[in-house]
């Protein structure tokens, strides 16, 4: 990593922005995911990002840095791959779907088979999520927002960006829930390893104990935040 990254001023006006994501941000999400999770089994696949950013982009946020040295914040050899360079370089994200249960399960973290074909066959102008009927993945009528990926690239961890992103995310979920005609959101849930329980507790999450989810080998704890 270039030493110039230590001089980046994240407090400068316009240096950091947070915005909703679209499927056009998929490649940038993959870069962040691979940088944040050293265990490949704990990473969301590119197909999962494509699916989630297609069927429920309103539940996904990214944090971007705008400085001359932004690209140096990413791992060597990677690129932000953003479809909108003016947005800056993505350095963190929250990726989620809805689920009907109060905690995450392996089914909620899944991806329906042939989801692309279902979306492609849907009538023009229809909602992508409504085109898919499956017990796996996003459940549009669910009142729990299931966070599947939350991360800040290692070069910027410990600088408050994760807290800033999650605060913005909870505010967005509360606003989305209060929107006329929108499906209500009762809670935001996620799973984490034991060493991150205290971190999420400080963000306002409650520990619901060991999770039954076996994604990536298991060993997770259920955490939830009441909206």
How does residue 2 score in pLDDT terms, banded at 50, 70 and 90?
very low
49-79 per-position pLDDT tens digit: 999 999 999 999 999 998 766 666 776 556 5
Q: pLDDT class for 4, splitting at 50, 70, 90?
A: very low
Give the strand pairing for 144-152 and 187-192. parallel
Q: How far apart are CA 15 and CA 83, in angstroms?
A: 19
Instruction: Give me the pLDDT at residue 69, please.
Output: 63
pLDDT digits (tens, 9 = 90+) for 182-206: 999 999 999 999 999 999 999 999 9
In order of start, what are the domains of the chain with their CATH numbers? 3-226 (3.40.630.30)
Cross-sheet strand order for the sheet of 144-152: 16-20, 61-65, 89-99, 144-152, 187-192, 221-226, 206-210
Averaged pLDDT for residues 88-93: 92
Which pLDDT band, with edges at 50, 70 and 90, does 3 fall under?
Answer: very low
Q: What does the pLDDT read at residue 123?
A: 85
What does the mean pLDDT of the chain come to?
Answer: 89
**Please, what is the angle between helix 26-36 and helix 46-55, to 10°?**
130
CA angle 146–151–157, rounded 5-degree value: 145
Confidence of residue 1 (pLDDT cuts 50, 70, 90): very low
CA–CA separation, 37 and 149 (whole Å): 10
pLDDT of residue 75: 66
Task: State pTM to two decimals.
Answer: 0.89
Is 5 a residue whose pLDDT tops 70?
no
Confidence of residue 86 (pLDDT cuts 50, 70, 90): low
Tens digit of pLDDT for each residue in 109-168?
999 999 999 999 888 878 888 888 899 999 999 999 999 999 999 989 999 999 999 999
């Amino acid at each position: 990593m270039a030493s110039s990254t230590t001089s980046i001023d994240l407090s400068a006006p316009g240096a950091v922005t947070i915005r909703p994501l679209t499927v056009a941000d998929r490649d940038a999400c993959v870069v962040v995911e691979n940088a944040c999770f050293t265990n490949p089994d704990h990473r969301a696949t590119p197909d999962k990002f494509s699916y989630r950013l297609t069927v429920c982009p309103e539940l996904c946020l990214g944090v971007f840095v705008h400085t001359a040295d932004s690209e140096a914040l990413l791992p060597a050899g990677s690129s932000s791959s953003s479809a909108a360079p003016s947005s800056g370089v993505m350095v963190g994200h929250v990726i989620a779907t809805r689920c009907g249960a109060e905690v995450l399960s392996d089914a909620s973290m899944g991806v329906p088979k042939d989801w692309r074909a279902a979306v492609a066959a849907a009538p023009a102008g229809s909602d992508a999520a409504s085109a898919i009927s499956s017990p796996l993945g996003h459940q549009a009528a669910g009142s729990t927002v299931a966070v599947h990926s939350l991360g800040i690239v290692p070069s910027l961890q410990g600088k408050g960006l994760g807290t800033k992103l999650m605060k913005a995310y909870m505010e967005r979920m509360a606003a989305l829930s209060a929107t006329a005609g929108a499906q209500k959101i009762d809670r935001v849930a996620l799973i984490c390893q034991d060493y991150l329980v205290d971190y999420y507790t400080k963000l306002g999450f409650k520990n619901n104990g060991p999770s039954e989810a076996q994604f990536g080998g298991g060993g997770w704890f259920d955490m939830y935040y009441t909206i």
